Amino acid sequence: MANIPQKIIHEYLRHDKKFPHVWCAGCSNGIVLGSIIRAIADMQLNRDDIVMVSGIGCSSRMPVYVDFNTLHTLHGRAIAYATGVKMFKPNLKVIVITGDGDCTAIGGNHLIHAARRNIDITVILINNNIYGMTGGQASPTTPHEAIATTAPYGNIEPDFDICNLAMGAGASFVARTTAFHAIETQNYVKEAINHNGFSMLEIVSSCPVIYGRLNKKGSPADMLKHMRDNSITLAAKEKLPKEKTEGKIIRGILKRDERTEFTDAYAQLVKKVMGGKHE
Amino acid sequence: MSKKVEKDRVGTIFREEEAQEKMEVEVTEVKERGDKDSPVLIYYNWCKRCGICVAFCPTGCLGRKPDGSPYVANPEKCIHCETCDRLCPDFAITGAKDK
C-alpha cells in the first residue's frame, strides 16, 4: 500500500500490486500515464466503462498499471482487438495505448484501416523515436541521421509523420502534443475520448536511457527541456515565417471533423436489414 | 570453499538488511515531516532519482541529495503549483495543497 496520499493513485492505479513500475528513470511514459488518469478523473467516467488495450512495447506496459478493463495483446494488433471490443460493446470507451514501432511498423495496416472506417476508438500513440524495450532498433519514426543500434552510423531513412498518415487515412480527430505539456495532454485526452469517431493523439515522448544515450541528448530533464523549447503551437506556426518553424514539433488539434461512425453505421444496417426483428 | 560462500551470503544479507533499514528510516522520516509541515511529500520507495522534479521546480523549493534523490530544501518557497506532481514519471511526489 502506497503511503503517498494522492487520490488519483488510489482510485485509478493498481498501486498495491504493480508499483514501482518497470519504466526506466526519467521515462516519459509515467508522465503520460499521469496525464491520462487525470483526464479520466476529470471526466468522472466509471472505471468499468473503460477498456484499455495495448500491444507490446515500453508504452504498452501501461494497461498493467491502471485499474480499468485491460487487454494486453499481440505486437501491433492492439487496434484489431480494440475494433473487436468496440463492435461487440459500442457503449464502452475503448482506449488504445501504443508505441511508434507497435502502431506504425508492425500494426501499420490496422492503423490505416481503423482510421478509414472511422470506428470510435481513441489511439494514444506515445512516440519515443526508437524501439526501447528490445534494445534500441531504428523504428519508422527514428529521425533522419539519428543513431540507433541498427543504424550505428546514422539512420538513412526519412521518418514517418504519424499525424499526416492518420489524417490521410481518414481519422476524424488528430492531435499532437508532447509529454512535457502535461496539462495540454490531459485536455487532448479528454477531447479525444469525447470525440465520436477515430481519434489519434500522438504524444512525443523521450527515451533518455536508449535514444538519449545513443544520440547524446543529456539527462531526462534535458530531454524534456528540449521538447519545451522545440515545440510550437499550430496557431504560432501559422504566424511565423517558414524557416523559423522548420524542425519544430507542431502541437495542437490538427484535424477535427464529423462523419459517420462505424458502429453507428453497423447498427443502422442491422436495423434496415432485419426490419426490427432482431430484438 | 563452503566457508567462503557462507561468508559471502552473510555479507549480502547484511547489505540488503542495511539498505532496507535505511529506506525505512527515510520513509518514516518523510512521512512524519510530510504529515506535519512539509508542503511536498516524497515517496522514496517509488522514486528513481531522475531529477525531473528538481529541474522543473519553478521556485527552487526542491534540492538534490548527493545520491540524486530529491528533498525539500526550502519548504517556505513551495507555491503548490503541482508541477512536480504532473512531471514525476513515478508518482512519487506530491505538492498539492489538499493531499
pLDDT more than 70, % of chain A = 97
Give yes or no for a contact between A110 and A86, defined as CB atoms under 8 angstroms apart.
no
CATH of A7-274, one of 3.40.50.300, 3.90.650.10, 3.40.50.970, 3.40.50.12780: 3.40.50.970
pLDDT tens digits, B30-44: 554 444 568 888 888
Q: Give the pTM.
A: 0.87
Residues of chain B with confidence (pLDDT) below 50: 1, 5, 7, 9-14, 32-35
d(CA A152, CA A225): 26
pLDDT tier for residue A244 given thresholds of 50, 70 and 90: confident
Residue numbers in A near B99 (CB within 8 A)? 5-6
Nearest by CB to B90, which of A5, A30, A183? A30
Phi, psi of A262 (to 5 degrees): -65, -45
Cβ neighbours of A219 in B, within 8 Å = 50-51, 55
Whether the CB-CB separation of A10 and B64 falls below 8 Å is answered with no
pLDDT-derived band of residue A74, with 50, 70 and 90 as boundaries? very high
Question: For the domain B2-94, what is the CATH code?
Answer: 3.30.70.20
Q: In which band, very low, low, confident or very high, does the pLDDT at A213 lie, cut at 50, 70 and 90?
A: very high
The span from the CA of B77 to the CA of B32, in Å, is 20
Whether the upstream peptide bond of residue B58 has omega within 30° of 0, thus cis, is no
Give the pLDDT confidence score for residue B18 in this predicted structure. Answer: 60
What is the residue extent of each domain of chain B?
A: 2-94
In a 10 Å sphere around its CB, with 0-12 CB exposed, 13-18 middle and 19+ buried, how is residue A178 labelled?
Answer: buried
Residue ranges of the domains in chain A?
7-274
Q: What SS3 class is residue B64? A: strand
Mutation target to probe the A interface, by most A beta carbons within 10 A, among B38, B47, B53, B90 is: B90
**In sequence order, which residues have a C-beta less than 8 Å from that of residue A30 and are 6 or more positions away?**
A21, A23, B88, B89, B90, B91
**What is the predicted pLDDT for the residue at B30?**
52
Band of residue A23 on the pLDDT scale cut at 50, 70, 90 = very high
Tell me: the pLDDT tens digits for A173-184? Answer: 999 999 999 999
Whether residue B97 lies within 8 A of chain A, CB to CB, comes out as: no
Identify the pLDDT of residue A187: 96
Looking at residue A172, its pLDDT comes to: 95
Nearest-Cα residue of chain B relative to residue A39: B86
Residue pLDDT, tens place only, A135-185: 999 999 999 999 999 999 999 999 989 999 999 999 999 999 999 999 999
Mutate to test the interface with A, among B86, B94, B98 (most CBs of A within 10 A): B86
Nearest to A96 by CA among A237, A199, A11: A199
Portion of chain A with pLDDT greater than 90, in percent:
87
The Cα–Cα gap between A103 and A113 comes to: 12
pLDDT at B38 (0 to 100): 81
Cα(A86)–Cα(A107) distance, integer angstroms: 18
Q: Indicate the pLDDT class of residue A9, thresholds 50, 70 and 90.
A: confident
